[in-house]
């Protein structure tokens, strides 16, 4: 069994914490580990499981790889999507990769898991996966139906049909998100479960069914995979071939059409953590029903979710609010309307606001930078470089840079020079001069960078040499 962890998606309903450049699967929302890390660790108790295949956006490749390394895990393969094409193509790429790596006569099974879901009862998750193995071996395409705990209107549903024995049923229908009255009927009938987006099937069977119902998607993915190239620990599929593929979910492409769909119920404290209200329901709360994270002072407040970052957040005399404070944006919303946060993100996008896409703190394979201040012709950043890491050898056409080291030691390449800059020392990089910043030490290097010039955008970086394969 090969886990396929799908790391795409932007999690826009969890803005401003989740953003396109660093979405919710890379954040510790439901525990001390990130959502991706928790998904990988959830596999430890399942027998005969190989290292996972990750499918992720090219922009997130280093975050995905490093988060697995932090918990002592490695991926069998990290497949990079040059553009988002939904789950049917993503799973097709993983199936092709699994079959290419399989030994002669092997028949790999794929356990498909979104990276951004939460499961509080891991043993129940393990039991459901184990019970689905035999069905998958026999050629069924198994989906896991979450046993509903309420008349939820935010999820799609699965109606079960013929009893297949061993606690599984044929899928009769996939149904869209219902209204409240319909959801109540579904709950009362006992024939419906929530659609989890988790699957188990043989790789070859998925490709057979995709060829039957969406041969265009399969051919596009075959072409993209055939043109793939290795880049460090990553597999880059052919960008043009993959871009030509239709964007389609696995439900629409295969599961709603195949005669081989089966559903195995799962009661494992599951949540797709798709909104702030879902996170509030999942989290431990105080005696007033508040979920408070960070430096928060609440007086006569109840039913609230508050996520603070660096500042004190105070509440007085309020009910059922969501308050999320980040470095560059604050969200205040009625808890009953948090599904509409996506509308705010769309408005930010339409107006060209950068807060829709990226945080003030931007992660890079060498560490991160935090944009502290900016104005006409200047910008100030705090830069942290991990031990042993280096930035690209680069130059700028429009700006000069001043670096002040506040912790650690920097090895600086400046034109033909190489120098060491230690704490409380500084150096200057004139406009147009080739330069590189490295951390040769064993502790993080922290410095303040002051940029000055006529244009300070990130696209004014000409990379001449880069160990991370960036252009």
User: What does the pLDDT read at residue 65?
Assistant: 93
Domain with CATH 2.60.120.10 in the chain: 361-465
113 forms bridges with which residues in the sheet?
5
Q: Looking at residue 182, what is its pLDDT?
A: 95
Q: What is the DSSP code (8-state) at residue 59?
A: G
Answer for the pair 203, 211: CB distance below 8 angstroms, yes or no: no
Q: Which candidate, 382, 384, 388, places its Cα nearest to that of 445?
A: 384
Share of the chain above pLDDT 70, in %: 100
pLDDT value, residue 183: 94
Query: Residue 135, SS3?
Result: helix
Residue intervals in the chain for CATH 3.90.550.10: 2-271
Question: Which whole number is the average pLDDT over 376-394?
Answer: 96
215-226 helix and 87-101 helix, angle to the nearest 10 degrees: 50
Concatenate the DSSP letters of all residues of 190-240 into one string: S-EEEEEEEEEEEHHHHHHHHHHH-HHHHHHHHHHHHT-EEETTEEE--HH
Q: Which helix (H) or strand (E) holds 5?
A: strand 2-6
pTM for the structure as a whole? 0.91
Q: Give the per-residue pLDDT at 106.
A: 86
Q: How far is CA 9 from the centre of its chain?
A: 6
- The sign of the torsion formed by the CA atoms of 219, 220, 223, 229 equals negative
From the candidate CATH numbers 1.10.357.10, 3.40.50.2300, 2.60.120.10, 2.60.40.10, the one assigned to the domain spanning 361-465: 2.60.120.10
Lookup: tokens for 323: 């308050």
In sequence order, what are the residues at sequence separation of 6 or more whose Cβ sits closer than 8 angstroms to the Cβ of residue 430? 400
Distance separating the N- and C-terminal Cα atoms of the chain: 36
Q: Cα separation of 252 and 239, whole Å?
A: 24
**H helical segments located in 283-340:** none
Instruction: Look at residue 104 and tell me whether its pLDDT is greater than 80.
Output: no
**Residue 470 pLDDT more than 80?**
no
pLDDT at 103 over 80: no
Q: What are phi and psi of 176, to 5 degrees?
A: -70, 175
Superfamily in which the 2-271 domain is placed by CATH: Spore Coat Polysaccharide Biosynthesis Protein SpsA; Chain A (3.90.550.10)
Q: Is the peptide bond before 287 cis (omega within 30 degrees of 0)?
A: no
CA 426 from centre of chain: 37
pLDDT tens figures, 287-319: 999 999 999 999 999 999 999 988 999 999 999
Give me 448's structure tokens: 């303040």
Q: What is the dihedral of CA 326, 345, 196, 181, to 10 degrees?
A: 110
Query: In a 3-state reduction of DSSP, which class is residue 385?
Result: strand
pLDDT value of position 467: 87
Tokens matching residue 376: 């006409």
DSSP codes of every residue in 163-195: EEETTEEEEEEEEPPP-HHHHHHHHHHS-EEEE
Average pLDDT over residues 15-39: 94
Q: Would you place residue 90 in the very low, low, confident or very high pLDDT band (cuts 50, 70, 90)?
A: very high
What's the pLDDT at 105?
A: 78
> Which DSSP state fits 424?
T
Give 52's DSSP letter.
Answer: P
């Amino acid at each position: 069994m090969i886990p396929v962890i799908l790391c795409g998606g932007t999690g826009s309903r969890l803005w401003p914490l989740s953003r396109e450049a660093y979405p919710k699967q890379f954040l510790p929302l439901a525990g001390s580990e990130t959502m991706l890390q928790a998904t990988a660790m959830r596999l430890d108790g399942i027998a005969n499981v190989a290292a996972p295949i990750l499918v992720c956006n090219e922009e997130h490749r280093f975050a995905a790889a490093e988060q697995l390394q932090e918990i002592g895990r490695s991926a069998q393969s990290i497949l990079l999507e040059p553009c988002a094409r939904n789950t049917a193509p993503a799973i097709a790429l993983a199936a092709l990769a699994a079959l290419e790596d399989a030994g002669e006569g092997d028949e790999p099974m794929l356990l498909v898991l979104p990276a951004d879901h939460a499961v509080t009862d891991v043993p129940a998750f393990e039991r459901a996966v184990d019970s689905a193995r035999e069905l998958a071996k026999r050629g069924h395409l198994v989906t896991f139906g979450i046993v509903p705990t309420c008349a939820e209107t935010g999820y799609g549903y699965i109606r079960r049909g013929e009893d297949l024995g061993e606690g599984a049923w044929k899928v009769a229908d996939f149904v869209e998100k219902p209204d409240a009255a319909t959801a109540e009927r579904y709950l009362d009938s006992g024939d419906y479960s929530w659609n989890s987006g988790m699957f188990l099937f043989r790789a070859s069977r998925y490709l057979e069914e995709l060829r039957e119902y969406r041969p265009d998607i399969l051919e596009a993915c075959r072409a993209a995979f055939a043109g793939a190239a290795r880049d460090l620990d990553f597999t880059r599929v052919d960008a043009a071939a993959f871009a030509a593929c239709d964007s389609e979910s696995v439900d629409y492409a295969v599961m709603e059409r195949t005669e081989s769909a089966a559903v195995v119920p799962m009661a494992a404290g599951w949540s797709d953590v798709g909104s702030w209200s879902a996170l509030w329901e999942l989290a431990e709360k105080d005696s007033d029903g508040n979920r408070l994270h960070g430096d928060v002072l609440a007086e006569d407040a109840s039913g609230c979710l508050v996520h603070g970052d660096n500042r004190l957040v105070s509440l007085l005399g309020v009910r059922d609010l969501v308050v999320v404070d980040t470095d560059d944006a604050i969200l205040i919303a009625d808890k009953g309307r948090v599904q509409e946060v996506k509308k705010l993100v769309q408005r930010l996008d339409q107006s060209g606001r950068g807060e829709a896409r990226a945080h003030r703190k931007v992660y890079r394979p060498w560490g991160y930078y935090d944009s502290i201040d900016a104005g006409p012709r200047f910008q100030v950043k705090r830069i942290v470089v991990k031990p042993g890491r280096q930035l690209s050898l680069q130059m700028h056409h429009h700006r000069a840079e001043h670096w002040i080291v506040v912790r650690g030691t920097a090895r600086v390449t400046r034109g033909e020079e190489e120098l060491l800059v230690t704490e409380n020392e500084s150096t200057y990089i004139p406009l147009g001069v080739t330069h590189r910043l490295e951390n040769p030490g064993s502790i993080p290097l922290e410095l303040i960078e002051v940029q000055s010039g006529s244009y300070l955008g990130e696209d004014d970086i000409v990379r001449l040499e880069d160990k991370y394969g960036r252009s």
